[in-house]
Amino acid sequence: MRPLVVVLSLALFSGCQGNRDQLLADLQSPRPEVRAHAVKSLAKQGNAEDLVLFSRAAKDMASIVRGEAAAALGESQDPRVVDLLGELLEDADEDVQGRAAMALAKVKNDKAKAYLTLQYGRRGRKTRQIIVQALKTANVPGAMAESVAAESKAIWDRNLLALNEGTLPERVGAAEELGKSGRPEAINRLLPLVRDSQVVMAAAAVRGLGDAGDRRAVPAILLLLDESFPDLREASIGALRKLQDPSSVQKLQAVAVEKSAVSALATDAIAALPRTPETEKALCTIAIEGARKEAIDAARAMRTKGCPLEPIIESLSRNSGVESGLQAVIGLGPSAQGALPKVLPLLTSSDSVQRMLAVEAVAAIGDASAAPALQKLYEQELKAIEGPRQDWVTAALPQVYGSGFDPSAPAAESEDSQGHKDGAKGSKQVQLFERVRALNAQRAREAGRVLVQPRVPTELYDDVEPLSLQPLAAVLRALGAVKAPGALELLKGYAGDPNVTLRTAGLVGLARLGPEGVEAAKGGMYEAERDLQKALAEALAQQGEAGQAVLVSMLPQFASEKLVLLDALNQFGAPASASEALQAVVREGGAEAVLAASVLGRLKAKDAVPTLSKALDEPASVARREVLLALGEIGDTQAAEVVARDLYHDQPEVRFAAASALQKIGTPAQGEALDALKSDYYRRVRDAASAALAKNGTAAEGAR
């Protein structure tokens, strides 16, 4: 028996040795998958002398090999491999980073743990999740909380160093970042800097204080509104808007009515404050005393509640105050109905500016009783432009370019170095371009997209100045707004006008006439002029479901122009039936998905949850923040798990969106991660995480 055992042992050793020799040979294979398999197989054999082979494989050009090398180094549990695994944790490939993190967890010494906590703040979402998992595997208590705290400390130390010792651009960036932390120490450091001799530094400190969210900074910032530096004043207004302190209303009102470059910002800041009698009074004052844009914006902000009409009517009665009163009426719209008797006589004013403002005011009120006065003014304005609009080219203009005049076509022929014309080459180029155009047209038709035909430039056949057509255009829009008798047929005539100013006015006027007008106007969305598209899209969206449904139906037919449609739907709302079309936009990705996701969130479209959840699988999605917020608005608990993954995201605005969404979804399952984010560097993230935990209460406590 003994000789037989020896023979079998020798045979087994010989077989293993032969297999090992093959694996060693495979390490030199030109195929990455063969090298990776060899590393994996050698690791299973557990030979200490193979550590040098794994260290060499960790430098391999192929990520699949480096990943197997990381796993093999971890299995060795040799403290000498910690630095090499630390390098692999910074690998360009996320899969290699993850395997290196799990390998470090197997070493289980302080140095390995230090690598993991250090790299948490430098890696993306996927690796950060694995790092937390690795720390838990290594029995580190409060793994995520410790990692978040380490990241927070590193960011603070870096910004503090830059503020104290950096160059001016570095100090500016550090001041803003310190403010975002919201720490009391940051506020104490930034407050003295608001009086820095460098305006750019002072403005950065003010912006930082605005992000800090501590109202103790308000008195110091209010003083800066008296400065003459526009950048500093702009930063101060932005900070006051974020701080939401009612005590800033009077100062902001003074800036809003001074008619300066920052007055519009001050008006917006007041409108963004919580509504109180003080803010409402300020907005109504700006509506009368502010410059045109600020006055209309302030009055529009008060359109629902309305402003006292006595000061506006009094202003309309004074020659010096007519324009101010009309601006207030334009912004207030239907809520200024009582001022209509004072506005109507101004339609016949000899002052063209007052007359234009009166037309806009009548359109904003939208009362049908103004129709006769507008019709009379229409005839007057039409007569004023008849002369300049007379065609001096009576024959029909060609709709295509003549040979050799099309700027988008290649030259029909070229010359060589000897001056000989190469007609054949030019002819081939023309044919090639024509084939490309034909193919593009066919694809557009198959996709259901409408091809826009360019119009003949108006300067070829009339001498009218665009500004001289504005009064007539305003009357056309107003006729639609008051739904004047006969307006439908009249505006249809202008919907095809060669001049873009009148064509836009005709289409917008049609959109204001209700469903029949919407149907007549919708074809204008296929115009090539972007300003026309934007004005018409907004007019359609303002008409409620009838106009909004038209915009939704057009989404599949538009390519890059989808932004015009989506922006209008985002501003004025969309019907519930829009969900499927909006989901298609989200699936396509790109900038359009940002607006589509926002609209879906406002619609609370539960059927969109799978689409929005899937969109989060795209690492480079530009709409990630909006998708998360949309899922929060919808509030479906099925999305909680996929939303919670972004609590690990490396971008603070995404972590904030994820925590905010979880607060609205209301699931306690993510209590541990949310609790860890209470140590996040950024104040907004901390506040959102605390709010989410507070809503879930005891259930969240139990999850920790």
Helix (H, G, I), strand (E, B) or coil at 414: strand
Is residue 99 assigned to a domain?
yes
Is residue 46 assigned to a domain?
yes
Q: What local confidence, expressed as pLDDT, does residue 388 receive? A: 66
Residue closest to 256 by CA, chosen among 303, 228, 289: 289
Tens digit of pLDDT for each residue in 244-302? 999 999 999 999 999 999 999 999 999 999 999 999 999 999 999 999 999 999 999 99
Tens digit of pLDDT for each residue in 413-447? 444 455 555 555 556 666 776 777 677 667 666 65
Residue written as token pair 């996701």: 597
Q: What local confidence, expressed as pLDDT, does residue 668 receive? A: 77
Tell me which of 3-17, 407-421, 467-481, 485-499 is least confident: 3-17
Between the alpha carbon of residue 255 and those of residues 229, 259, 290, 330, the distances in Å are 13, 8, 10, 22
Tens digit of pLDDT for each residue in 370-416? 999 999 999 999 988 876 666 545 556 566 666 666 665 555 444 44
Whether 7 has a pLDDT exceeding 50, the answer reads no
User: How many other CB atoms are there within 10 angstroms of residue 700's CB atom?
Assistant: 21
The enclosing H or E element of 421 equals strand 421-422
Residue 620 pLDDT grade (very low, low, confident, very high; cuts 50, 70, 90) = confident
Q: What local confidence, expressed as pLDDT, does residue 10 receive? A: 34
Q: What local confidence, expressed as pLDDT, does residue 670 receive? A: 84
Tens digit of pLDDT for each residue in 213-238? 999 999 999 999 999 999 999 999 99
Residue 135: give the domain boundaries.
27-140
d(CA 608, CA 537): 24
Structure tokens given for 285: 């004052």
Which residues fall within 8 angstroms of residue 457, CB to CB, at 6 or more apart?
Answer: none
Structure tokens given for 210: 């605005």
Residue 13 pLDDT grade (very low, low, confident, very high; cuts 50, 70, 90) = very low
Is residue 77 assigned to a domain?
yes
d(CA 224, CA 455): 52
Residue closest to 586 by CA, chosen among 554, 561, 551, 610: 610
Q: What is the CATH number of the domain that holds 101?
A: 1.25.10.10
Residue 566, exposed/middle/buried by CB under 10 A (0-12, 13-18, 19+)? buried
Structure tokens given for 399: 């709709």
d(CA 521, CA 541): 12
- Angle (nearest 5°) at CA 307 between 303 and 312: 115
User: How many other CB atoms are there within 10 angstroms of residue 660's CB atom?
Assistant: 23
Is residue 102 assigned to a domain?
yes
Q: What local confidence, expressed as pLDDT, does residue 525 receive? A: 93
Is residue 330 assigned to a domain?
no
Is residue 395 assigned to a domain?
no
Percent over 90 (pLDDT), the chain: 77
Structure tokens given for 541: 């969206």
The enclosing H or E element of 422 equals strand 421-422
Residue 528 pLDDT grade (very low, low, confident, very high; cuts 50, 70, 90) = confident
Residues 446-469 have a mean pLDDT of 60
Residues 484-506 have a mean pLDDT of 93
d(CA 214, CA 184): 8
Whether 153 has a pLDDT exceeding 80, the answer reads yes
Phi, psi of 31 (to 5 degrees): -95, 120
First to last CA, the chain: 62
Q: What local confidence, expressed as pLDDT, does residue 695 receive? A: 79
d(CA 547, CA 539): 8
Of residues 641 and 704, the one with the higher pLDDT is 641
Q: What local confidence, expressed as pLDDT, does residue 61 receive? A: 95
Residue 320 pLDDT grade (very low, low, confident, very high; cuts 50, 70, 90) = confident
Q: What local confidence, expressed as pLDDT, does residue 701 receive? A: 45
Tens digit of pLDDT for each residue in 176-196? 999 999 999 999 999 999 999
Q: What local confidence, expressed as pLDDT, does residue 404 receive? A: 64
Residue 699 pLDDT grade (very low, low, confident, very high; cuts 50, 70, 90) = very low
pTM: 0.84
Domains held by the chain: number? 1
Is residue 59 assigned to a domain?
yes
Q: What local confidence, expressed as pLDDT, does residue 438 receive? A: 72
Residue 344 pLDDT grade (very low, low, confident, very high; cuts 50, 70, 90) = very high
Tens digit of pLDDT for each residue in 91-132? 999 999 999 999 999 998 999 999 999 999 999 999 999 999
Residue 498 pLDDT grade (very low, low, confident, very high; cuts 50, 70, 90) = confident
Is residue 358 assigned to a domain?
no
Structure tokens given for 165: 């010792």
Let me know: does 617 contact 588? Beta carbons within 8 Å: no
Structure tokens given for 122: 């430098």
Residue written as token pair 């541990």: 672
Residues 4-18 have a mean pLDDT of 41
Kindly report the average pLDDT of the chain as a whole number: 88
Residue 38 pLDDT grade (very low, low, confident, very high; cuts 50, 70, 90) = very high
Tens digit of pLDDT for each residue in 623-671? 999 999 999 999 999 999 999 999 999 999 999 999 999 999 987 778 8
Residue 457 pLDDT grade (very low, low, confident, very high; cuts 50, 70, 90) = low
Q: What local confidence, expressed as pLDDT, does residue 6 receive? A: 41
